[in-house]
Amino acid sequence: MGFKQIGKGTPALAVALMFGCALLGNVPQAAAQSFGSMSILDLEAERDKFFQSADSDGDFALSSEEQVSAVGAADAGLFECWDEDGDGLCSYMEFLNSGQKVFDERDIDGDGRLSVEEVQ
């Protein structure tokens, strides 16, 4: 079973993701700046805040509409989710499972921390 990125091919979401997430603004970047870098735990904390804010109906799953409404001017790449079961929703468990993949993709130097440059 492969991963399917939520909203892939959905023009509104694709355009919105280019602009990033307004709910958290520069929080991940600020966290990386204040600590010099961001650990996987720091990233997961920010991702959890994003999920809780974006899940407007409280069903512990993000629809494409909830993701689109949560997107704004920062880097939404840190908040990507892969729909493992292909149901068109990003469940909380799928969102959590996606965090390590997002971290690994961003940790270019492989030091186990995200620098300010890697967060951007």
Q: What is the pLDDT of residues 24-80, one digit of tens each?
A: 344 455 444 444 588 999 989 988 988 998 899 999 999 988 887 886 644 577 888
Q: Is residue 5 a part of any domain in this protein?
A: no
Residue 34: its pLDDT value, please? 46
Q: Is residue 2 a part of any domain in this protein?
A: no
Mean pLDDT of the chain: 73
Judge whether 119 and 74 are in contact, CB under 8 Å.
no
Q: How many CB atoms lie within 10 A of CB 9?
A: 8
Does 105 score more than 70 pLDDT?
yes
Number of domains in the chain: 1
Angle, CA 93 vertex, CA 34 and CA 84 arms, to 5°: 115
Does 14 score more than 80 pLDDT?
no
Judge whether 42 and 73 are in contact, CB under 8 Å.
no
Q: By residue range, what is the domain housing residue 29? A: 11-109
Q: Which of 119, 12, 31 is nearest to 76 (CA)?
A: 119
3-state secondary structure of 13: helix
Provide the CATH number for the domain around residue 25.
1.10.238
Q: What is the dihedral of CA 56, 18, 83, 62, to 10 degrees?
A: 0
Structure tokens at 56: 């407007």
